[in-house]
Chains A and B, each alone.
Chain A
Amino acid sequence: MKLIIATIKPFKLEEVREALTTIGVRGMMVTEVKGFGSQSGHTEIYRGAEYAVNFVPKVKLELVVTAAMADEVVATIAKTARTEKIGDGKIFVLDVESALRVRTGETNDDAL
């Protein structure tokens, strides 16, 4: 099993969700986050005082999928979330030791 963590532009969320459910992903977790990468920040002015916006809003997806499916999921997210402008986000893939479905007690791949 693999944990896929992807940060994407917030307005791409719905498109990515649709693409992932189309290829058979059955669940995901979504969090609103802020962060910075190469997009870095920019400055704004509020009531005459300049300030730096260091953290840009993003959406973080977390999905646990079978190892066999991981590559396809990563490719789908990358393809759908891409705008080719700075700040499109990043995708990380981690190994998952175990999984358990609370309702039935099923474990690992059966729990996904």
Chain B
Amino acid sequence: MKILKILPVAAALMALPTLGLAQEADMTPPNEEIGFILTSFMFLVCGFLVFWMAAGFTMLEAGLVRQKNVAMQLTKNMGLFSLAAIAYYLVGYNLMYPLGSWSIGADETGGYLGILFSPAIMEAVGLADTTPDLTYSSVGADFFFQLMFCATTASIVSGTLAERIKLWPFLIFVIILTAFIYPIQASWKWGGGFLDTQFGFLDFAGSTVVHSVGGWAALAGALILGPRIGKYKDGRVIPFMGSNLPLATLGTFILWLGWFGFNGGSQLYMDTAGNVADISRIFANTNTAAAGGALAAMILTQVLYKKVDLTMVLNGALAGLVSITAEPLTPGLGMATLIGAVGGIIVVFAVPFLDKLKIDDVVGAIPVHLFAGIWGTLAVLLTNPDATLGGQLISIIVVGVFVFVASGVVWFILKATMGIRVTEEEEIMGLDQAELGMEAYPEFANR
């Protein structure tokens, strides 16, 4: 019955092109441009999804810090994203993608350092006098997409060091992280450097290259900065409650959404049916890994503590996402769920473990991004036969040592020159009042 009704309509539609449109100019892009168009478009969509993760981190952190530091946490996130955008344009992008022009090393033998201080340049307006690489995407789309990853790394650091670090030294660190530290180590893998060519390192969307890098930088900062006043007293851990769990939960869902762009876009091509199918696999795997991480944390906190800890469930979902990021393509849905679930379990044990070591990580960024990042990088071995244990391990260690040492040196220099910590009085008062003179949630307002 239904088919009968539709048939005449379908016939009319089929006749349409020959009726009216034949006389007009043919606006169909040439076949060889279609891949370029779709890939660029994919980068732009995935890029703004990854951009949105900046909002996710901001809300997660705003929810997990105490009320007196919320406005400062928002300020730091605005500052770090904007600085990352400029630093990556001026230095980072071309440092990360030397395209064969290494300062130290070469494509064949493995590159170590790209071109310093060469700002990113996009194609001319309307591609005037340019022959774009039609097998890939526009430079503008590629730059836009890659920039968001760099900014993500900086977002990770701000959560760990919240509530006690001074604004400007933190932002100076962000410049160095996003202009140099992140792009240099990323070039070793994604720029075709030595980890890629010599060790066959596999890290699809950056469990190591992005997440553990943020985690290592945060760990170095946390060790040098020290814990918040009153966090560890007489061998006990004093919990500082998050100020707004609805915001923290919203932030987690925003990150979950953004991660589809993070992992999906890292397919890097959308010019064939195979690539589109792969991107679809990646979206589905990314989603189920987050679910696995959240559920694992939910069940585990119920068993361990007799009550579910929402903040751990949020961290668990994010750990699931980080865990699947190194290889979101080759696992099936079941394996992706398990890989994510292990990430969730890691977080539930790692958060109290760090507290035992008196490493004060306000939002749990080190368990989520560093510990689950290492797990995710190793989990590539489970489903991708091209990965080698040696290649994965050496790369985890090389990147870890480089980022931890480089960040540590920068933190030490900042500490020695301008100081990185607010005064005790300012910390007790809260950074909102001490450094900004405003409150996120004014309680007693004159109306």
Inter-subunit contact A47/B364 (CB<8 Å): yes
- Contact call A45/B309, Cβ cutoff below 8 A: yes
- Among the stretches B54-62, B200-208, B233-241, B278-286, the one at the interface with A is B233-241
A49 at the interface (CB under 8 A from B): yes
Interface size class of A (residues with CB under 8 A): under 10
In the complex, which residues 290-348 of chain B have their Cβ closer than 8 Å to any Cβ of chain A?
305, 307, 309, 311-312, 348
Contact status B238-A47, CB under 8 Å: no
- B311→A51 contact, CB < 8 A: no
Q: B390: CB under 8 A from chain A?
A: no
Contacts of A44 in B (CB 8 A): 307
Contact of A45 with B307 at beta-carbon distance under 8 Å, contacts A51-B238, A51-B239 already known: yes
Note all chain B residues with C-beta closer than 8 A to A49.
236-239, 352, 355
Whether, in the assembled complex, B351 has its beta carbon less than 8 Å from a beta carbon of chain A, the answer is yes
Residues of A within 8 A of B241 (CB): 46
Interface SS, A side: strand
How would residues 65 to 103 of chain B score, 1 for a CB under 8 Å from any chain A CB and 0 otherwise? 000000000000000000000000000000000000000
Contacts of A48 in B (CB 8 A): 237, 305, 309, 312, 348, 351-352, 355
Specify which chain B residues have a CB less than 8 angstroms from the CB of A47 in the assembled complex.
239, 309, 311-312, 351-352, 355, 364
Q: Which residues of B contact A46 (CB under 8 A)?
A: 239, 241, 309, 311
How far is A44 from B306 in the complex, measured between Cα atoms in Å?
Answer: 10
Chain A: minimal CB distance from B33 (Å) = 52
Q: What is the minimal beta-carbon distance from A31 to any residue of chain B, in angstroms? A: 13
CB distance from A13 to the nearest CB of B (A): 20
Which residues of the partner chain A approach B237 to less than 8 Å between Cβ atoms? 48-49
Contacts of A45 in B (CB 8 A): 305, 307, 309
Docked CA distance A51–B309 (Å) = 14
Interface residues of A in 60-105 (CB under 8 A from B): none
Contacts of B307 in A (CB 8 A): 44-45
**Chain A residues with CB under 8 A of B239:** 46-47, 49, 51
Q: Which A26-49 residues have a C-beta within 8 angstroms of B?
A: 44-49
Least Cβ–Cβ distance between B59 and chain A, in angstroms: 18
Q: Which residues of chain A have C-beta atoms less than 8 A from B348's C-beta?
A: 48
Q: How near does chain A come to B351, taking the closest CB pair, in angstroms? A: 5
Q: Give the distance in Å from the alpha carbon of A47 to the alpha carbon of B301 in the complex.
A: 9
User: How far is B311's CA from A49's CA once the two chains are assembled, in angstroms?
Assistant: 12
Closest A residue to B315 by CB, please name it.
A47
Residue of chain B at shortest CB distance from A49: B237
Q: Tell me the complex Cα distance, A44–B364, Å.
A: 19
| Nearest A residue to B354, CB-CB | A48
CA distance A51 to B351 in the complex (A): 16
A-B contacts, 15 listed (Cβ < 8 Å): A45-B305, A45-B307, A45-B309, A46-B241, A46-B309, A47-B239, A47-B351, A47-B352, A47-B355, A47-B364, A48-B305, A48-B352, A49-B237, A49-B239, A49-B352
Q: Give 4 closest A-B pairs by Cβ, nearest first.
A: A48-B352, A49-B237, A46-B239, A45-B305
Q: A49-B237, A49-B239, A49-B352 are known contacts; what are 10 more A-B pairs with Cβ within 8 Å?
A: A46-B309, A47-B239, A47-B309, A47-B364, A48-B237, A48-B348, A48-B351, A49-B236, A49-B238, A49-B355
Point out residues on A near B: beta carbons under 8 Å.
44-49, 51
